[in-house]
Amino acid sequence: MSLLDVQDLRVSFRQDGQTVAAVHGVSFTVNRGETVALVGESGSGKSVTALSTVSLLGPSADVSGSVTFDGRQMIGASNKTLRQVRGNDISFIFQEPMTSLNPLHTLEKQIRESLELHQGLTGDAARDRIVALLKRVGITQAEQRLKAYPHQLSGGQRQRVMIAMALANKPDILIADEPTTALDVTIQAQILELLAELKREEGMGLLFITHDLSIVRRIADKVCVMKDGEIVESGATEHIFAKPTHAYTRKLLAAQATGDPAPVPADSPTLVETERLRVWFPIQKGFLRRTVDHVRAVNDASITVRAGETLGLVGESGSGKTTLALAIMRLIGSDGRITFAGEDVDRWSTRKLRKRRRDMQIVFQDPYGSLSPRMTCEQIIAEGLGVHGKPDGRSERELVAEVMEEVDLNPAMMDRYPHEFSGGQRQRIAIARAMILRPRLLVLDEPTSALDMTVQVQIVDLLRRLQVKYGLAYLFISHDLGVVRAMSHKIVVMKDGDIVEAGTARDLFEAPQTDYAKTLLEAALDLSA
Protein backbone atom coordinates (compact mmCIF):
# COMPACT_ATOMS: atom_id res chain seq x y z
CA MET A 1 0.00 0.00 0.00
CA SER A 2 1.28 3.46 -0.92
CA LEU A 3 2.09 5.85 1.89
CA LEU A 4 0.27 8.72 0.14
CA ASP A 5 -2.42 7.89 -2.41
CA VAL A 6 -4.13 10.69 -4.34
CA GLN A 7 -6.97 9.65 -6.64
CA ASP A 8 -9.16 11.84 -8.86
CA LEU A 9 -8.41 14.96 -6.83
CA ARG A 10 -10.50 17.95 -7.87
CA VAL A 11 -10.18 21.44 -6.38
CA SER A 12 -12.14 24.59 -7.13
CA PHE A 13 -12.38 27.97 -5.42
CA ARG A 14 -15.44 30.14 -4.80
CA GLN A 15 -14.62 33.70 -5.77
CA ASP A 16 -16.99 36.66 -6.22
CA GLY A 17 -19.97 34.39 -6.74
CA GLN A 18 -18.13 32.28 -9.30
CA THR A 19 -16.38 28.93 -9.14
CA VAL A 20 -12.83 28.71 -10.48
CA ALA A 21 -11.50 25.20 -11.12
CA ALA A 22 -7.84 24.72 -10.17
CA VAL A 23 -7.21 20.96 -10.19
CA HIS A 24 -8.97 18.43 -12.45
CA GLY A 25 -8.81 14.72 -11.60
CA VAL A 26 -5.20 14.45 -10.44
CA SER A 27 -3.95 10.99 -9.38
CA PHE A 28 -0.51 9.87 -8.12
CA THR A 29 1.11 7.90 -5.30
CA VAL A 30 4.16 8.38 -3.06
CA ASN A 31 5.79 5.33 -1.49
CA ARG A 32 8.11 5.21 1.50
CA GLY A 33 11.66 6.12 0.46
CA GLU A 34 10.49 7.44 -2.92
CA THR A 35 10.77 10.93 -4.43
CA VAL A 36 7.91 12.07 -6.65
CA ALA A 37 8.25 15.41 -8.46
CA LEU A 38 5.30 17.58 -9.48
CA VAL A 39 6.55 19.85 -12.26
CA GLY A 40 4.92 22.52 -14.36
CA GLU A 41 4.62 26.26 -14.79
CA SER A 42 3.09 28.69 -12.29
CA GLY A 43 -0.66 28.24 -12.09
CA SER A 44 -0.55 24.59 -13.15
CA GLY A 45 -1.94 23.44 -9.79
CA LYS A 46 1.19 21.96 -8.18
CA SER A 47 1.02 23.78 -4.84
CA VAL A 48 -2.77 23.52 -4.63
CA THR A 49 -2.45 19.75 -5.05
CA ALA A 50 0.17 19.55 -2.29
CA LEU A 51 -1.80 21.70 0.15
CA SER A 52 -4.89 19.55 -0.48
CA THR A 53 -3.15 16.51 1.01
CA VAL A 54 -3.70 17.84 4.55
CA SER A 55 -6.61 20.24 3.89
CA LEU A 56 -4.67 23.52 4.06
CA LEU A 57 -6.59 25.38 1.35
CA GLY A 58 -9.06 27.33 3.47
CA PRO A 59 -12.86 27.65 3.49
CA SER A 60 -13.22 28.98 -0.08
CA ALA A 61 -11.92 25.71 -1.55
CA ASP A 62 -14.13 22.81 -2.60
CA VAL A 63 -12.15 19.55 -2.60
CA SER A 64 -13.34 16.17 -3.83
CA GLY A 65 -11.79 12.85 -4.71
CA SER A 66 -9.62 10.77 -2.41
CA VAL A 67 -6.41 11.53 -0.50
CA THR A 68 -5.32 8.75 1.83
CA PHE A 69 -2.26 8.81 4.07
CA ASP A 70 -1.21 5.44 5.44
CA GLY A 71 -4.73 4.20 4.74
CA ARG A 72 -6.51 7.15 6.44
CA GLN A 73 -8.75 9.44 4.42
CA MET A 74 -7.67 13.09 4.65
CA ILE A 75 -10.52 14.73 2.73
CA GLY A 76 -13.24 15.41 5.24
CA ALA A 77 -11.10 14.21 8.18
CA SER A 78 -11.71 15.68 11.63
CA ASN A 79 -9.64 18.60 12.88
CA LYS A 80 -8.13 16.30 15.50
CA THR A 81 -6.89 13.88 12.83
CA LEU A 82 -5.55 16.70 10.65
CA ARG A 83 -3.70 18.30 13.57
CA GLN A 84 -2.04 14.99 14.30
CA VAL A 85 -0.94 14.52 10.68
CA ARG A 86 0.13 18.09 9.92
CA GLY A 87 3.74 18.72 10.87
CA ASN A 88 3.97 15.30 12.51
CA ASP A 89 3.37 12.70 9.79
CA ILE A 90 3.44 15.10 6.82
CA SER A 91 5.71 18.15 6.95
CA PHE A 92 6.20 21.04 4.53
CA ILE A 93 9.18 23.09 3.35
CA PHE A 94 8.17 26.22 1.49
CA GLN A 95 9.90 28.32 -1.16
CA GLU A 96 10.82 31.45 0.77
CA PRO A 97 12.07 30.71 4.30
CA MET A 98 12.19 34.38 5.28
CA THR A 99 8.42 34.66 4.96
CA SER A 100 7.80 31.21 6.46
CA LEU A 101 9.85 31.88 9.60
CA ASN A 102 8.55 34.27 12.27
CA PRO A 103 10.88 37.30 12.27
CA LEU A 104 10.07 38.04 15.94
CA HIS A 105 11.03 34.62 17.33
CA THR A 106 14.43 32.98 17.79
CA LEU A 107 15.29 29.75 16.03
CA GLU A 108 15.03 27.84 19.30
CA LYS A 109 11.53 29.09 20.02
CA GLN A 110 10.22 28.29 16.54
CA ILE A 111 11.52 24.71 16.50
CA ARG A 112 10.54 24.16 20.15
CA GLU A 113 6.87 24.94 19.38
CA SER A 114 6.60 21.91 17.11
CA LEU A 115 8.38 19.62 19.59
CA GLU A 116 6.12 20.72 22.45
CA LEU A 117 2.95 20.34 20.38
CA HIS A 118 3.62 16.92 18.86
CA GLN A 119 6.07 15.23 21.23
CA GLY A 120 5.59 17.01 24.53
CA LEU A 121 9.32 17.78 24.78
CA THR A 122 10.25 20.66 27.08
CA GLY A 123 13.28 22.08 28.89
CA ASP A 124 16.71 20.59 28.30
CA ALA A 125 15.31 17.62 26.37
CA ALA A 126 13.78 19.96 23.78
CA ARG A 127 16.93 22.06 23.65
CA ASP A 128 19.14 19.02 23.07
CA ARG A 129 16.82 17.83 20.30
CA ILE A 130 16.90 21.29 18.64
CA VAL A 131 20.70 21.42 18.71
CA ALA A 132 20.87 17.91 17.23
CA LEU A 133 18.45 18.90 14.45
CA LEU A 134 20.41 22.04 13.55
CA LYS A 135 23.65 20.07 13.43
CA ARG A 136 21.93 17.39 11.35
CA VAL A 137 21.01 19.90 8.64
CA GLY A 138 24.49 21.43 8.57
CA ILE A 139 24.12 24.54 10.76
CA THR A 140 27.55 25.27 12.20
CA GLN A 141 27.91 26.40 15.82
CA ALA A 142 24.37 25.21 16.47
CA GLU A 143 24.38 26.05 20.19
CA GLN A 144 25.35 29.66 19.47
CA ARG A 145 22.65 29.95 16.79
CA LEU A 146 19.74 29.09 19.09
CA LYS A 147 19.12 32.73 20.04
CA ALA A 148 19.56 34.01 16.48
CA TYR A 149 16.66 35.52 14.53
CA PRO A 150 15.89 34.66 10.87
CA HIS A 151 17.29 37.95 9.51
CA GLN A 152 20.67 37.09 11.04
CA LEU A 153 21.04 34.03 8.79
CA SER A 154 21.84 33.65 5.11
CA GLY A 155 19.27 32.30 2.65
CA GLY A 156 20.83 28.83 2.70
CA GLN A 157 20.95 28.78 6.50
CA ARG A 158 17.29 29.83 6.75
CA GLN A 159 16.30 27.03 4.40
CA ARG A 160 18.27 24.55 6.52
CA VAL A 161 16.35 25.77 9.58
CA MET A 162 13.08 25.17 7.72
CA ILE A 163 14.24 21.63 6.95
CA ALA A 164 15.15 21.12 10.62
CA MET A 165 11.65 22.24 11.66
CA ALA A 166 10.09 19.92 9.09
CA LEU A 167 12.16 16.98 10.35
CA ALA A 168 11.63 17.70 14.05
CA ASN A 169 8.92 15.07 14.44
CA LYS A 170 10.38 12.51 12.04
CA PRO A 171 7.64 12.75 9.39
CA ASP A 172 6.78 9.93 7.03
CA ILE A 173 6.36 12.34 4.11
CA LEU A 174 8.18 15.60 3.40
CA ILE A 175 6.56 17.98 0.91
CA ALA A 176 9.10 20.47 -0.50
CA ASP A 177 7.49 23.33 -2.44
CA GLU A 178 10.15 25.06 -4.58
CA PRO A 179 12.70 24.84 -1.73
CA THR A 180 15.75 25.91 -3.76
CA THR A 181 14.39 28.54 -6.17
CA ALA A 182 15.89 31.58 -4.41
CA LEU A 183 19.24 29.95 -3.54
CA ASP A 184 22.68 30.10 -5.14
CA VAL A 185 23.79 27.10 -7.20
CA THR A 186 26.27 25.93 -4.56
CA ILE A 187 23.64 26.18 -1.82
CA GLN A 188 21.06 24.49 -4.09
CA ALA A 189 23.41 21.56 -4.54
CA GLN A 190 23.97 21.31 -0.77
CA ILE A 191 20.23 21.43 0.02
CA LEU A 192 19.39 18.80 -2.60
CA GLU A 193 22.14 16.51 -1.32
CA LEU A 194 20.89 17.02 2.23
CA LEU A 195 17.30 16.12 1.26
CA ALA A 196 18.47 13.01 -0.60
CA GLU A 197 20.60 11.95 2.35
CA LEU A 198 17.79 12.49 4.86
CA LYS A 199 15.37 10.57 2.65
CA ARG A 200 17.74 7.60 2.52
CA GLU A 201 18.47 7.58 6.24
CA GLU A 202 14.94 8.30 7.51
CA GLY A 203 13.08 6.31 4.86
CA MET A 204 10.76 9.22 4.12
CA GLY A 205 8.63 9.74 1.08
CA LEU A 206 9.42 13.05 -0.65
CA LEU A 207 6.97 15.06 -2.75
CA PHE A 208 9.08 17.66 -4.55
CA ILE A 209 7.39 20.60 -6.29
CA THR A 210 9.40 22.64 -8.78
CA HIS A 211 9.49 24.25 -12.20
CA ASP A 212 13.20 23.48 -12.64
CA LEU A 213 13.63 20.23 -14.56
CA SER A 214 17.39 20.12 -13.96
CA ILE A 215 16.66 19.60 -10.26
CA VAL A 216 14.01 16.98 -11.02
CA ARG A 217 16.46 14.93 -13.04
CA ARG A 218 18.86 14.85 -10.12
CA ILE A 219 16.51 14.08 -7.24
CA ALA A 220 13.28 12.39 -8.42
CA ASP A 221 12.36 8.73 -8.93
CA LYS A 222 9.03 9.56 -10.63
CA VAL A 223 7.77 12.68 -12.40
CA CYS A 224 4.24 14.03 -12.81
CA VAL A 225 3.99 16.88 -15.33
CA MET A 226 1.10 19.27 -14.62
CA LYS A 227 -0.58 21.76 -16.93
CA ASP A 228 -3.77 23.71 -16.28
CA GLY A 229 -4.65 21.59 -13.24
CA GLU A 230 -4.11 18.22 -14.92
CA ILE A 231 -1.30 15.67 -15.01
CA VAL A 232 -0.54 15.44 -18.72
CA GLU A 233 2.30 12.93 -18.38
CA SER A 234 3.83 10.81 -15.63
CA GLY A 235 6.36 8.03 -15.26
CA ALA A 236 9.89 7.14 -14.20
CA THR A 237 12.28 10.09 -14.36
CA GLU A 238 14.65 8.42 -16.82
CA HIS A 239 11.79 7.58 -19.18
CA ILE A 240 10.24 11.08 -19.06
CA PHE A 241 13.56 12.75 -19.86
CA ALA A 242 14.58 10.24 -22.52
CA LYS A 243 11.25 9.80 -24.33
CA PRO A 244 8.68 12.48 -23.43
CA THR A 245 5.40 11.83 -25.22
CA HIS A 246 3.38 14.98 -24.48
CA ALA A 247 4.09 18.19 -26.39
CA TYR A 248 4.02 20.23 -23.16
CA THR A 249 6.68 18.02 -21.55
CA ARG A 250 8.87 18.43 -24.62
CA LYS A 251 8.35 22.20 -24.40
CA LEU A 252 9.47 22.25 -20.75
CA LEU A 253 12.54 20.14 -21.50
CA ALA A 254 13.51 22.45 -24.35
CA ALA A 255 13.04 25.62 -22.29
CA GLN A 256 16.58 26.82 -21.67
CA ALA A 257 18.23 30.14 -22.33
CA THR A 258 20.88 29.52 -24.98
CA GLY A 259 23.00 31.40 -27.46
CA ASP A 260 25.02 34.57 -26.97
CA PRO A 261 24.12 38.26 -26.77
CA ALA A 262 24.64 40.43 -29.84
CA PRO A 263 28.26 41.66 -30.19
CA VAL A 264 29.08 45.08 -28.75
CA PRO A 265 29.90 47.59 -31.52
CA ALA A 266 33.66 48.20 -31.74
CA ASP A 267 33.24 51.97 -31.32
CA SER A 268 30.90 51.65 -28.33
CA PRO A 269 31.98 54.13 -25.59
CA THR A 270 32.52 53.27 -21.93
CA LEU A 271 29.37 54.16 -20.01
CA VAL A 272 30.21 53.08 -16.43
CA GLU A 273 33.60 52.75 -14.80
CA THR A 274 34.60 52.22 -11.18
CA GLU A 275 38.06 52.41 -9.64
CA ARG A 276 38.75 50.80 -6.26
CA LEU A 277 35.11 51.12 -5.24
CA ARG A 278 34.59 50.22 -1.60
CA VAL A 279 31.42 49.85 0.47
CA TRP A 280 31.94 49.23 4.18
CA PHE A 281 29.12 49.36 6.70
CA PRO A 282 30.16 50.42 10.23
CA ILE A 283 29.55 48.19 13.24
CA GLN A 284 28.73 50.48 16.16
CA LYS A 285 28.58 49.55 19.83
CA GLY A 286 28.22 51.20 23.19
CA PHE A 287 26.21 54.15 24.46
CA LEU A 288 28.11 56.55 22.20
CA ARG A 289 27.74 54.24 19.20
CA ARG A 290 31.46 54.15 18.47
CA THR A 291 32.53 52.30 15.32
CA VAL A 292 34.42 49.18 16.40
CA ASP A 293 34.60 47.39 13.04
CA HIS A 294 33.10 47.27 9.57
CA VAL A 295 31.10 44.86 7.43
CA ARG A 296 33.22 44.80 4.29
CA ALA A 297 30.51 44.43 1.64
CA VAL A 298 32.62 45.49 -1.36
CA ASN A 299 36.40 45.84 -1.48
CA ASP A 300 38.28 47.78 -4.17
CA ALA A 301 36.01 46.83 -7.08
CA SER A 302 37.15 48.10 -10.47
CA ILE A 303 34.89 47.42 -13.47
CA THR A 304 33.97 48.91 -16.84
CA VAL A 305 30.75 48.59 -18.84
CA ARG A 306 30.32 49.90 -22.37
CA ALA A 307 27.10 51.00 -24.04
CA GLY A 308 25.36 47.92 -25.46
CA GLU A 309 27.33 45.58 -23.18
CA THR A 310 26.20 43.23 -20.40
CA LEU A 311 28.38 42.68 -17.36
CA GLY A 312 27.26 39.62 -15.40
CA LEU A 313 27.80 39.71 -11.63
CA VAL A 314 27.88 36.23 -10.07
CA GLY A 315 28.67 34.83 -6.65
CA GLU A 316 26.90 33.45 -3.61
CA SER A 317 24.51 35.43 -1.41
CA GLY A 318 26.39 38.05 0.56
CA SER A 319 29.24 38.28 -1.94
CA GLY A 320 28.51 41.97 -2.66
CA LYS A 321 26.86 41.78 -6.10
CA THR A 322 23.78 43.87 -5.33
CA THR A 323 25.73 46.23 -3.05
CA LEU A 324 28.12 47.01 -5.92
CA ALA A 325 25.23 47.76 -8.28
CA LEU A 326 23.44 49.98 -5.74
CA ALA A 327 26.65 51.92 -5.12
CA ILE A 328 27.06 52.54 -8.86
CA MET A 329 23.50 53.90 -8.95
CA ARG A 330 24.32 56.09 -5.92
CA LEU A 331 21.54 54.48 -3.87
CA ILE A 332 24.08 53.77 -1.11
CA GLY A 333 27.29 55.56 -0.17
CA SER A 334 30.73 54.34 -1.20
CA ASP A 335 34.39 55.26 -1.42
CA GLY A 336 36.39 55.20 -4.63
CA ARG A 337 35.72 56.64 -8.06
CA ILE A 338 32.60 56.15 -10.19
CA THR A 339 32.25 57.68 -13.65
CA PHE A 340 29.10 57.65 -15.75
CA ALA A 341 29.35 58.69 -19.40
CA GLY A 342 32.74 60.24 -18.62
CA GLU A 343 31.49 62.32 -15.66
CA ASP A 344 32.64 61.91 -12.07
CA VAL A 345 29.46 60.89 -10.23
CA ASP A 346 30.74 62.14 -6.86
CA ARG A 347 30.82 65.68 -8.24
CA TRP A 348 27.15 65.64 -9.16
CA SER A 349 24.96 67.90 -7.08
CA THR A 350 21.78 66.49 -5.58
CA ARG A 351 19.80 68.24 -8.29
CA LYS A 352 21.92 66.81 -11.10
CA LEU A 353 21.86 63.34 -9.56
CA ARG A 354 18.07 63.45 -9.44
CA LYS A 355 18.02 64.50 -13.10
CA ARG A 356 20.39 61.70 -14.13
CA ARG A 357 18.32 59.06 -12.32
CA ARG A 358 16.36 58.51 -15.52
CA ASP A 359 19.57 57.24 -17.14
CA MET A 360 20.03 54.54 -14.45
CA GLN A 361 17.10 52.23 -13.75
CA ILE A 362 16.69 48.91 -11.93
CA VAL A 363 14.52 45.79 -12.24
CA PHE A 364 14.20 43.68 -9.10
CA GLN A 365 13.95 39.94 -8.47
CA ASP A 366 10.38 39.72 -7.20
CA PRO A 367 8.01 41.06 -9.87
CA TYR A 368 5.11 41.08 -7.41
CA GLY A 369 6.78 42.60 -4.37
CA SER A 370 8.27 45.45 -6.43
CA LEU A 371 4.90 46.54 -7.88
CA SER A 372 2.34 48.45 -5.82
CA PRO A 373 -0.85 46.37 -5.52
CA ARG A 374 -2.89 49.60 -5.26
CA MET A 375 -1.77 50.99 -8.61
CA THR A 376 -2.89 50.02 -12.10
CA CYS A 377 -0.45 48.86 -14.72
CA GLU A 378 -0.61 52.29 -16.37
CA GLN A 379 0.10 54.11 -13.10
CA ILE A 380 3.05 51.84 -12.30
CA ILE A 381 4.70 52.22 -15.70
CA ALA A 382 4.07 55.97 -15.88
CA GLU A 383 5.25 56.72 -12.33
CA GLY A 384 8.72 57.82 -13.47
CA LEU A 385 7.25 60.27 -15.96
CA GLY A 386 5.70 62.19 -13.07
CA VAL A 387 9.19 62.73 -11.66
CA HIS A 388 11.27 63.21 -14.81
CA GLY A 389 8.68 64.59 -17.22
CA LYS A 390 7.53 63.33 -20.60
CA PRO A 391 8.25 64.31 -24.22
CA ASP A 392 6.26 67.26 -25.55
CA GLY A 393 3.09 66.51 -27.46
CA ARG A 394 2.72 62.94 -26.18
CA SER A 395 0.10 61.88 -23.69
CA GLU A 396 1.04 59.66 -20.78
CA ARG A 397 -1.32 56.94 -21.98
CA GLU A 398 0.28 56.97 -25.46
CA LEU A 399 3.74 56.52 -23.97
CA VAL A 400 2.57 53.69 -21.72
CA ALA A 401 0.88 51.92 -24.64
CA GLU A 402 4.05 52.24 -26.73
CA VAL A 403 6.37 50.76 -24.09
CA MET A 404 3.88 47.99 -23.27
CA GLU A 405 3.97 46.88 -26.89
CA GLU A 406 7.77 46.94 -26.78
CA VAL A 407 7.79 44.45 -23.88
CA ASP A 408 5.08 42.29 -25.52
CA LEU A 409 2.17 43.34 -23.30
CA ASN A 410 -1.26 44.19 -24.68
CA PRO A 411 -1.96 47.91 -24.04
CA ALA A 412 -5.60 46.99 -23.48
CA MET A 413 -4.51 45.57 -20.10
CA MET A 414 -3.08 48.83 -18.75
CA ASP A 415 -6.06 49.39 -16.41
CA ARG A 416 -5.53 46.06 -14.62
CA TYR A 417 -3.81 45.63 -11.26
CA PRO A 418 -0.67 43.51 -10.61
CA HIS A 419 -2.58 40.55 -9.14
CA GLU A 420 -4.39 40.17 -12.47
CA PHE A 421 -1.13 39.34 -14.29
CA SER A 422 1.08 36.25 -14.34
CA GLY A 423 4.62 36.31 -12.95
CA GLY A 424 6.15 36.77 -16.38
CA GLN A 425 3.74 39.58 -17.23
CA ARG A 426 4.53 41.32 -13.94
CA GLN A 427 8.23 41.20 -14.74
CA ARG A 428 7.49 42.72 -18.15
CA ILE A 429 5.64 45.54 -16.36
CA ALA A 430 8.72 46.14 -14.20
CA ILE A 431 10.89 46.27 -17.33
CA ALA A 432 8.42 48.65 -19.00
CA ARG A 433 8.49 50.92 -15.94
CA ALA A 434 12.26 51.22 -16.35
CA MET A 435 12.25 51.47 -20.15
CA ILE A 436 9.68 54.28 -20.43
CA LEU A 437 12.40 56.68 -19.24
CA ARG A 438 14.77 55.46 -21.98
CA PRO A 439 17.67 54.72 -19.59
CA ARG A 440 21.26 54.10 -20.65
CA LEU A 441 22.07 51.67 -17.82
CA LEU A 442 19.73 48.97 -16.54
CA VAL A 443 20.52 47.01 -13.38
CA LEU A 444 18.82 43.59 -13.48
CA ASP A 445 18.87 42.04 -10.01
CA GLU A 446 17.91 38.35 -10.32
CA PRO A 447 15.20 39.24 -12.88
CA THR A 448 14.44 35.63 -13.87
CA SER A 449 14.99 33.55 -10.72
CA ALA A 450 11.33 33.60 -9.64
CA LEU A 451 10.04 32.72 -13.11
CA ASP A 452 9.23 29.46 -14.87
CA MET A 453 11.82 28.12 -17.29
CA THR A 454 9.72 28.90 -20.37
CA VAL A 455 9.12 32.46 -19.14
CA GLN A 456 12.84 32.87 -18.37
CA VAL A 457 13.62 32.21 -22.02
CA GLN A 458 11.07 34.83 -23.09
CA ILE A 459 12.48 37.47 -20.72
CA VAL A 460 16.06 36.79 -21.87
CA ASP A 461 14.99 37.19 -25.51
CA LEU A 462 13.16 40.43 -24.63
CA LEU A 463 16.18 41.89 -22.81
CA ARG A 464 18.50 41.00 -25.68
CA ARG A 465 16.15 42.69 -28.16
CA LEU A 466 15.86 45.87 -26.10
CA GLN A 467 19.64 46.02 -25.66
CA VAL A 468 20.27 45.93 -29.40
CA LYS A 469 17.51 48.45 -30.14
CA TYR A 470 18.58 51.07 -27.59
CA GLY A 471 22.26 50.30 -26.98
CA LEU A 472 21.54 49.57 -23.31
CA ALA A 473 24.25 48.66 -20.84
CA TYR A 474 23.21 45.94 -18.38
CA LEU A 475 24.49 44.97 -14.97
CA PHE A 476 23.05 41.45 -14.77
CA ILE A 477 23.00 39.91 -11.27
CA SER A 478 22.04 36.26 -11.04
CA HIS A 479 22.83 32.91 -9.44
CA ASP A 480 21.58 31.08 -12.55
CA LEU A 481 24.79 30.61 -14.52
CA GLY A 482 22.94 29.33 -17.59
CA VAL A 483 21.02 32.61 -17.87
CA VAL A 484 24.17 34.61 -17.07
CA ARG A 485 26.02 32.94 -19.93
CA ALA A 486 23.18 33.63 -22.37
CA MET A 487 23.01 37.31 -21.38
CA SER A 488 26.58 38.41 -20.63
CA HIS A 489 29.52 39.67 -22.67
CA LYS A 490 31.76 39.89 -19.61
CA ILE A 491 31.46 38.32 -16.15
CA VAL A 492 32.74 39.34 -12.73
CA VAL A 493 32.89 36.67 -10.01
CA MET A 494 32.56 38.01 -6.45
CA LYS A 495 33.26 36.37 -3.11
CA ASP A 496 33.12 38.06 0.32
CA GLY A 497 33.13 41.51 -1.26
CA ASP A 498 36.13 40.86 -3.50
CA ILE A 499 36.31 40.41 -7.26
CA VAL A 500 38.11 37.08 -7.48
CA GLU A 501 37.90 36.66 -11.27
CA ALA A 502 36.84 38.73 -14.28
CA GLY A 503 36.86 38.18 -18.00
CA THR A 504 34.76 37.40 -21.04
CA ALA A 505 31.85 35.01 -20.59
CA ARG A 506 33.44 32.51 -22.96
CA ASP A 507 36.77 32.50 -21.11
CA LEU A 508 35.21 32.15 -17.69
CA PHE A 509 32.94 29.27 -18.63
CA GLU A 510 35.52 27.40 -20.70
CA ALA A 511 38.63 28.01 -18.59
CA PRO A 512 37.96 29.43 -15.11
CA GLN A 513 41.17 30.45 -13.36
CA THR A 514 40.22 30.42 -9.66
CA ASP A 515 39.07 27.56 -7.45
CA TYR A 516 35.96 29.50 -6.42
CA ALA A 517 34.84 30.06 -10.02
CA LYS A 518 35.43 26.38 -10.72
CA THR A 519 33.30 25.46 -7.68
CA LEU A 520 30.42 27.62 -8.92
CA LEU A 521 30.56 26.11 -12.40
CA GLU A 522 30.81 22.55 -11.08
CA ALA A 523 27.75 23.11 -8.88
CA ALA A 524 25.79 24.43 -11.86
CA LEU A 525 26.87 21.47 -14.00
CA ASP A 526 25.89 19.02 -11.24
CA LEU A 527 22.40 20.49 -11.12
CA SER A 528 21.96 20.25 -14.89
CA ALA A 529 23.55 16.80 -15.24
More confident residue, 490 or 354: 490
* pLDDT level of residue 529 (50, 70, 90 thresholds): low
Q: Is residue 58 scored above 90 in pLDDT?
A: no
Q: Let me know if the fold of 1-89+172-180+206-255 is the same as that of 270-369+440-528.
A: yes
User: Which contacts qualify for 75-82: CB closer than 8 Å, 24 or more apart?
Assistant: 82/54, 82/55
Q: What is the pLDDT of residue 182?
A: 65
Q: Is residue 186 scored above 80 in pLDDT?
A: no
Q: Is residue 520 scored above 70 in pLDDT?
A: yes
CA distances from 448 to 190, 467, 477 (A): 22, 17, 10
Q: Is residue 2 scored above 80 in pLDDT?
A: yes
3-state secondary structure 67-88: EEECCEECCCCCHHHHHHHECC
* pLDDT level of residue 527 (50, 70, 90 thresholds): low
Share of the chain above pLDDT 70, in %: 97
Q: What is the pLDDT of residue 505?
A: 94
More confident residue, 289 or 378: 378
The DSSP element (H or E) to which 167 belongs, if any, is helix 155-167
Q: What is the pLDDT of residue 525?
A: 66
Strand 343-344: give its sheet, edge to edge: 290-306, 270-285, 335-340, 343-344
Name the CA radius of gyration of the chain, rounded.
25
* pLDDT level of residue 26 (50, 70, 90 thresholds): very high
More confident residue, 453 or 468: 468
Range 373-394 average pLDDT:
88
The DSSP output letter for 285 is E
Following CA atoms 182, 308, 424, 313 in sequence, which dihedral angle do they give, to the nearest 10 degrees?
Answer: 0
Lowest mean pLDDT among 224-233, 275-284, 364-373, 421-430: 364-373
pLDDT tens for each residue of 305-356 = 999 999 999 988 778 899 999 999 999 999 999 999 999 998 999 999 988 9
* pLDDT level of residue 500 (50, 70, 90 thresholds): very high
Name the maximum alpha-carbon separation found in the chain: 74
Q: What is the pLDDT of residue 337?
A: 96
- CATH homologous superfamily of 1-89+172-180+206-255 equals P-loop containing nucleotide triphosphate hydrolases (3.40.50.300)
Range 192-196 average pLDDT:
86
Cα 6 from Cα 28, distance rounded (Å): 5
Range 207-216 average pLDDT:
87
Q: Is residue 145 scored above 90 in pLDDT?
A: no
Task: Check the CA dihedral 68-71-73-79 and report its sign.
Answer: negative
Cα 25 from Cα 440, distance rounded (Å): 50
Q: What is the pLDDT of residue 526?
A: 60
* pLDDT level of residue 432 (50, 70, 90 thresholds): very high
Q: Is 517 left (phi over 0), alpha (psi -120 to 50) or beta?
A: alpha
Q: What is the pLDDT of residue 78?
A: 93
Range 391-406 average pLDDT:
89
Q: What is the pLDDT of residue 150?
A: 87
Question: Is 213 within 8 Å of 228 (Cβ atoms)?
Answer: no
Q: What is the pLDDT of residue 99?
A: 73
More confident residue, 213 or 417: 417
Q: Is residue 456 scored above 70 in pLDDT?
A: yes
Give 306's contacts (C-beta < 8 A, 6+ positions apart): 264, 268, 269, 270, 271, 473
Question: Is 156 within 8 Å of 31 (Cβ atoms)?
Answer: no
DSSP 326-359: HHHTTSS--EEEEEETTEEGGG--HHHHHHHGGG
Across the chain, mean pLDDT equals 89
Q: What is the pLDDT of residue 339?
A: 96
Range 84-104 average pLDDT:
84
Residue of 169, 179, 202, 177 whose CA lies nearest to 83: 169
The DSSP output letter for 262 is P
Q: What is the pLDDT of residue 142?
A: 87
In the chain, where the domains are located:
1-89+172-180+206-255, 90-170, 270-369+440-528
Q: Is residue 381 scored above 90 in pLDDT?
A: yes
> In the CATH hierarchy, which fold is given to the domain comprising 270-369+440-528?
Rossmann fold (3.40.50)
